A and B are shown apart, each in its own frame.
Chain A
Amino acid sequence: MSITIENLEWKYEHTTEFALRGINLEIPENSFLGVVGPNEQGKTTLVSAISGLIPHSFNGIYRGSVKVFGEEVKDAEAVHLASQVGLVFSDPESQFTAMTVEEELVFGMENLGYDYAKIKERLEWAADITMISSLLDKSPYDISGGQKQRVAIACVLAMNPRIIILDEPTSMIDPLGKQFIFDILRNLKEAGRHTLIVVEHNIEQLAPLADQLLLMHEGEIAKLAPPDEFFEDTDFLLERGLYVPEVTVFGHWLRKTGKLPPAQKLPRSLDDAVSLTRTALQAKGGTA
């Protein structure tokens, strides 16, 4: 297991309620976990606890245990944690501190004590995979939102952590930029060398990539299942404020009204829905 969480509870300073309650979770190595749920349910808090931001950078009450590759996060040093867990924030600008994109990329690697040759190699690789090679000399503040987020991802990739967490990476960028990000995630998943944890509201694009989906509700894990099982009970998901893809809700209705067999997998994408609708119409004796 890459990440093991036992009875994790966390309350921020100056608040009255626990933001995380009784979290128990194991995340296998090189798997892809999608974390979903409405705002203010504990998604960011959960990934912050995995990355070590909690409790190192926040004051509060911490109970339980988070272990990354067997090591307790709350006892680890920043530089060691950064070498194991990379975190991409939702607001890319909030994580830029250097004058140029190139400096942003090398900053983390210098902290990890890489030598010049390794820095150069990782820099070129990360810039290439995120398609930002032409931006290296630019200020990270003078590029578009999508480019900023790609730079943020490149900064993490350059450090080559075994676990990469992306907290709402597409929330502040345009549709084309979002597509770029998901393409990068797809490539990373296919490479199979990292454990990926992605907090997202864009479930249509997240679900096809994820090995498991985790729903956070009021600081607790409400559901953890592979995508096929996760959407089985859409009423359950909707009651907990999750935006379920409309095609899934449509498929659920088809099943409930007997137009699809009960064992039929629910669609998660438009293509799935079209195929399912054809099946339903054919079963009714119609033409597709």
Chain B
Amino acid sequence: MTTTTTTAEMTGAPARRQKTLLGYVPNVSPFYNFHPVTRLILFLTLGVVPLFIYIPEVNMFLIILNLILLKWGRVDLSRLRIYLPVIVTVAIFMGTVVVLAPGEDPSFTPIDLGWVTIYYQPVFFTFAAYWRLIAMLFGTILYFSINRERDILVGLRSLRLPFIASYVIGLSIRAAGMFMEDFRIIREAELARGLDTSAMKFRDQVKLYMMYLIPLFSISLRRADEISNALFARGYNISGKVAGGGERLDYIRSLYPMTRTDWIAIILLVTIFVIIGIAQMGFGVFAITNSPLEQFMRQWLNIPPA
């Protein structure tokens, strides 16, 4: 069920958010005018296309594009700070590895920094790889920021994912939420009994968290029985057969009609994806050597073209 946004809503105060397991999604967003499968294809485009693109400037542009889309979609950008540690530490890790283990190749150009010697080619390659990774990450962030769990499942089922597969995915997402809720309840019960984790050593805290998993796994066993009983009571069986032997209808998906805008968007996105794929795989258009930055760096460091 898409939410139709009015002009007033779109230009008014920031949208309020709805908590999902996968993050926060705005209550109102222009993205909700698009079918979930359109949003899924947008994700597949923005989240996969960087694999074909070795030019860091293009991936930086994709990241900015993602940020613009997030802003347009009325997503609260302050929530992105939970990804900052990963973004920073990936950079540190990749940088450290390429400095300490650059590999050996006679064509590598050494650059003496005084305290360490680095090699231009693997460093720039790692730099480009980093931006590819972050561009793909932002594609994923965009997708989970503009889709509730139901939208994700409708999108997958629209691509003809078998019902049992989409059911398992939906139940997994729900199970993750239940698991975290159970964890919170166990923690609160312990806190109510006077447990003070801040006074514990890190090692003891790790042990404590690990011990929580025992009751959590036990609860899951009980839940498996309960849910399978509930599925039986609702007439579901492992074969997925429906009464009368006919095709299983998908009522919820029927509530999401595809519009002309959706078809135009999908055709556009698929075309862009295919063009980029062919351009790179067939003609190397997005090869690292075509990066203006790379060319500038070679000129500046007097390194001959590759």
Contacts and interface: CB of A to CB of B under 8 A. Distances in A.
Interface of A: 51-53, 56-57, 77-83, 86-87, 89, 91, 94-100, 102-103, 106-116, 119-120, 123, 137, 141, 155, 159
Contacts of B250: 110
B187 interface: no
A99 B167 CA distance: 10
B234 A155 contact: yes
B223 to A, nearest CB: 7
Interface in B223-275: 223, 225-237, 241-246, 248-252, 254
B225 to A, nearest CB: 8
Given A97-B231, A155-B234, A109 B251 contact: yes
A116 B251 contact: yes
Contacts of A95: 226-227, 229-230, 233
Interface string B82-117: 000000000000000000000000000000000000
Contact of A94 (B153, B174, B226, B235): B226
A119 B249 CA distance: 10
Interface of B: 1, 148-150, 153, 167, 170-171, 173-174, 177-178, 181, 223, 225-237, 241-246, 248-252, 254
Nearest to B244: A113
20 contacts: A56-B232, A77-B237, A78-B236, A79-B236, A80-B235, A82-B233, A89-B230, A94-B230, A95-B226, A95-B230, A97-B171, A97-B227, A98-B170, A106-B251, A107-B234, A110-B249, A112-B242, A116-B249, A141-B177, A155-B234
A110 B248 contact: yes
Return the 8 tightest CB-CB contacts between A and B, nearest first.
A82-B235, A94-B226, A95-B230, A111-B235, A108-B234, A79-B235, A113-B242, A113-B244
Main secondary structure of the interface of A (DSSP, over half): helix
The winner among B149, B225, B230 for most chain A CB atoms within 10 A is: B230
Nearest to B234: A108
B252 A106 contact: yes
Main secondary structure of the interface of B (DSSP, over half): helix
A97 B168 CA distance: 10
A103 B252 contact: yes
A57 B171 CA distance: 19
B235 A112 contact: yes
B236 A111 contact: yes
A53 B181 CA distance: 28
A108 B234 CA distance: 5
A114 B249 contact: yes
A89 B229 contact: yes
Contact of A110 (B171, B181, B242): B242
Contacts of A103: 150, 252
Contact of B242 (A81, A111, A137): A111
Contacts of A159: 234-235
A118 to B, nearest CB: 10
Contacts, number: 113
Contacts of B242: 79, 110-113
Given A82-B233, A99-B148, A115 B171 contact: no
Nearest to B148: A99
Nearest to B255: A102
Given A97-B167, A120-B251, 20 more contacts: A52-B232, A57-B232, A80-B235, A91-B226, A95-B226, A95-B233, A97-B230, A99-B148, A108-B235, A110-B248, A111-B235, A111-B236, A111-B248, A113-B245, A114-B249, A123-B251, A141-B174, A141-B177, A141-B178, A141-B181
B247 to A, nearest CB: 8
A99 B149 contact: yes
Contacts of A120: 251
B249 A115 contact: yes
Nearest to A115: B249
A185 B154 CA distance: 35
A67 to B, nearest CB: 19
A110 B226 contact: no
A82 B148 contact: no
B246 A113 contact: yes
B234 A111 contact: yes
Given A97-B174, A106-B251, A110-B242, A87 B233 contact: yes
B23 to A, nearest CB: 15
B264 to A, nearest CB: 27
B234 A82 contact: yes
A51 B234 contact: no
